[in-house]
Structures are given as C-alpha cells and as structure tokens.
Structure 1
Amino acid sequence: MAGSRRRQWRAAATCVLAGSLVALLGACGAVTTKEDRRAAEELADKHFPGQIKAIGAHTLFPGTGGSEVAFAVADDRDAVVRLRINADKGTCDSKECAGVLTEAVARGRADAAAYRTLRDAFDVCGYEVIALGPTGTPPYVVAELTNATVQRVLADIGGCVQRWVTASGADTPLAKAKASYVNVVSPAVAEKRKRGKDSWPTLLRLTRSDLVASLTKHTYYSASYDIVGGRVDTTGTARVVRPFKERQAFGKTVQDAVREELRATYPNVVMSDYQWVWRLEPGRIDRQTGYLLFCPEPGERGRCVNSDDAVLVTADERGNPVGKIRIVHDVREGTGVLRLPPY
C-alpha cells in the first residue's frame, strides 16, 4: 500500500509541476483517494454492514494526507456520514478508525434529526430551507424583500426561528444561544442556484460549497434574532451582505462622501478602511446604517490605524449618505477592542 501511495503522490506532483491545479483536484485527486475510499468501504462493511454506502471522496490536500469519504445512510435520506481516513497510516483523524466511524455515524444521524427539526419549523411558516452553512447553520430561505414587505417578512421568519428553538428543546445549544441567524436570498437568485442531485443525501446536497457560493455571489440579507431564555425577539434586524466588488464600491462611495463632510472640521482627516455592519433601517431596504472610523490627523505613513473616532452614517443602496452624520469619540480601549455604541 505504501508503494502505491508513493506512486499516487508522484502523480499528484506531476499535476502540480504541469501547472494543472484542476487536474490535481479532479483526475489526480481521484487516484489519490482510491485506497482511502476502499479502506473506508471495508471498514463500513465490517462495522455497519448494509447500513452505510460510500458515495464520494476527496483528497485532504494540502494537509497531512488522507481523504474524506462521504457515506449515505440506508434508512435516512437526510443523513450523510463523513469520515476522514488515511489508509497509509491506518488511522481516521489520527485515531483508531472503528471508533471514529461509529462516532461519525452517530453524528450524521443526529445532524439529520436536527435538520428535520429546522426544516419542519420553517415549512410550517411557509419558508423552504434551500441551503445550509457548512455546520448545518445558518439556514438560507427565499423571500423578496422590499420596503413594503421587509418588516413582515422578518417577523414571519422570526416566528419560524421561535418554532425552531422550541422544537429543538430547552437544553440544546440553539435554545441557550444569544442569537440566531437566517440568510434571505431573492427568488431570482434561488431559481438559478446549483441544486445538485436529488439522489444525494439532503445534508450533503444542502451544505455543498458550490450551492452556497451560487447564492452568496449575489447580494443577500442576513437576519438576526436575539434569544433570551429560549424566547426569540421575532422582530429581528437585518444587514446587507454584498459580493466583494459591490462591497468595495459601496464602501468607497460612503467613505469619500463622509471624508468630504469631515474636512470642514478636520482638514487633515484620514478614513480607516474599517467598515462596521450595515444594518437596514426599520421598514427600509434602501436605507442602511453603520459606522466608519476616522483619524483627525494622519498617522504613520499617512494612514489611520487604531482610530478612536467614529461616524455613524445612514446611506442609500449605493452608499450616498442620507441625513446628518453623527460623530462619536472614545470608541476604542487603548489600541485594542472597539466599543461602538449600539444603534
């Protein structure tokens, strides 16, 4: 096996030297996972005969070697079992494989049960969960947010979150959390998402990175709900999450405008690159409020570092300030943590 593994790594190195990263992750990766997948299947046949079936594998590269093998569960269409295995070393996550697989199967089943609790809570409210973050949260749902609908939709989703928290149970991490988050994408974006194959386990299909990427490459909203003692503030708040280029353009527009306004008081003002969360104003999707940091005088190399001064700004969708700005001083503890007042 060791000799075969060396041949596999030589093949991977050849791909790298050839400059073909795609080949490494695709065709070459298939070669390097072969023995790991076979070892995982043998392990599954021995300890869970007829209960789980390998459906895919990918090389853990770069890293310490080995592969992650995914299994479907025979009696649970939602569950996926993920096992990190290194056939060369005869280990799984650097431990004895039988125990690791047993834990992985239990975790896969528990995650599937938790997903069904989430799914059912949102189904009752009329919101389909179309994707999940890599750990199973946050959920992604579909809604068209406008000035006319945003408060109602946030409240509706807040009701879903309360159902989810209640159904999960008082002793669960969710019920004990201080907040929960739900990502909201537009129907147009959701329609074009990379859905994957219906034959895949639900949790494999909904947590795929290419699915999430197909949603987050467009602007979406992240709704936040405070939780106290298992009770959810269903009103919620939302922030805008923009793709990188749009975020940069928005930031430049608002920083340039604020800089010009501050120059009346601070002629040598320098803006920090830092931007606080841009939160929607209640009942508006075209008004967002957030903090910008600034330095009244330039620091080293003309930059603004560890600013102790901030500006609270409300802007439109393009970043143009709307209304008056508010200057806030003493927002940092020394050169450390920011203490920006809530808004």
Structure 2
Amino acid sequence: MKRKMYLFLSILLFSGILVGCTKKPFSIENTKLEFTNIEVRDGTTGNMVSLDENESKELYNYLKKIVFTKGKSPEQNTGWRYALDFMADGKVIDTIMIQDESIIKYRNYFYKTDDDTTMDLDYIASLCKSVFKALVIDNNNGLLVKPDVNSNEFRSSDKISIGTGSAIIYDEDKKEVDLNEIQIGDVINITYNGIILESYPAQITADYINILESNLLIDGYATIIDDIYNLDSGLNSGINIIALDLTEITNLSETDKEILLMKLYGMYGLEVKESTFDQLAEEGLINKEELYFPTGIIITISNSEYKEDIETLRYDIRKWRSGLGAIGYKGNAKFDGEKWIISSENMWVS
C-alpha cells in the first residue's frame, strides 16, 4: 500500500514538474503598456527616430501579433539590432531590445519567436530612416542641396552633398526615374540612414529621393521671367547677373523666392539675385550717372495678382539694362493644365 502511495505521489510530483517546465507563450500585448509613442534606436548606426502616434500604433499592432516563448540567452550575444523605447510624457517607461529576426530581450529575459515566425527587420529598419526636405542647389558635380531650415539636418550644415549611387529616385507621379531628372531648384524629400559625415558640405548617402510636386505659382513666375528674358535678347549680351526686383510680390514666401532664384540659375547658368535698382547701385553694379548696368539686367515684376481658382496670373513686367535699353509690358499668364500660356499688351521699348 505504501509503495502504491509513494508511486502515486511520485507521478503527481513529476507531472507538476512537467507542467512547471512548460513554456508559456508571451506576447507584447501582455505587457499592458500605456504609452504615447515609440522611439526606435538603431544599434548599428546610432540613429534614433521618434515615431508619431499612428506609426507607433502600427508598430505595436505588428509586434503584438507575434508569439514568443521564454528562452535562454543566444549562444552568440553580440549586441542588439534595434531598441524600442516606449514613451509616456516624454519619458521611457519600458524598452524591448530586438536581438535578431527571432529573438527579443525584455526585462532581462530573452524570448524567441515560434519556429515558423520571424520579425520583419526590413520594416523595423525602415522606421529608423531619416527623411528631410531640401532644395537642390547644384546638380553638375553630384547632388548638392540646402536642407529645410526647420530640419535637424540644417542644424548640422546648410549644405549637404548627397551620395546617390544606390538611391532609388521617384518623380512627382511616383514613377522611378534617373538622376538627371533632378534639376536645380527642385524641392525633394531625401530618405537616408541618419548618418551625416561632418565635413563641409556635410555628406550623406540617400536610399530614396522623391521629387516633390512643383509649386505652380513659382513655375508661373519662372515662365513670365523667361518670356521677357528672351525678348529683345540683345539686352542680354555679355551679362553674368540677372537681378530680380520682387519687392511688390506678396504671394510668394521667402522660401518660394529662393526656389525661384535657384530655378532660374538652373535655366541660365548665370548668377541670379534678388535686388532693387538702388541696392545694385549701392553695390557699384549700376552706374547711376550713366544709367547703365554693365554686367547684368534687372527684371522687375509689379502689380501681380494670382487667381488660384482659375490659375491665372496678371502682372506688369520690365527688363532694364540701361536708360536706352529696356522693354516691358502688361501680361496675363494662364495655366492650361500642362504649361503656362502668356499673352501681353501695351508693350513698350526704350
């Protein structure tokens, strides 16, 4: 009887040990984390990206679908690939370390995915990419850009040289295009791994470049300037400066004007600057006594009115080289869906 009792107790004890050793499934959802957003750190590059609320929820929902089981430390623990910091009120409340495609570390324990499941590290890597907007200022010797003044990249350098060897480039219609489609004056979005070489200009390597849709009004102004530039072309002889008097233009921001100047530089390969007659005279570029601009022309736009609903721009414009060398007219530019069509009236020449 005692032997039977001992045998029965041994079976119960052994069964209890087996039950205790059964690996319980673990899900990120079990953590019950109440977070506002997630910050992703790249263990290779050191780059850190703070995800917005929607991106954070997307990542969390992706991870909570994956079932893990507690396991031993990997045999070759060489560090972590990505760290996910769960944030609340600007403070880290918890962290999950991704070791590789199948192992995470959470609160000093390692967890492994099921045998037929792996984490998409390409997706995690994409979250660590940095994206910024920039203005193309040179495309002759590689791609040189000026970052948006509100970007972190601008705090590093006002000029950045872009490595494009492996970059995928998309145009405004999201079609893949060649590098030569990027023109001076274009505004682009650049996606890269967050690493900036602190030279001058600074250097980065782009993964993706998106050419943003052109500002229609900027294109309109570029078109009307090009129109008068090509009128009475003899006034352009021997010039190396195009000055624009945009004092009366109120429907372009300072950034828009900068883009316009860069577009014109790309079109003509000449120095293009925003300046008035008096400012040019103060610089000694215009001889006030002889009323002559030896090295350039000044194009002045006034009385401009843009009607966005019908995509029409009315304006007065003139090109001046000297007291006896100028031309101007009242203009009307209409966008026909593909290009700006210009009509003029009251043209005068001196």
Name the TM-score, length of structure 1 as normaliser.
0.28
Name the TM-score, length of structure 2 as normaliser.
0.28
Please identify which structure carries the higher helix content: 1
Please identify which structure carries the higher strand content: 2
Q: Larger C-alpha radius of gyration, 1 or 2? A: 2
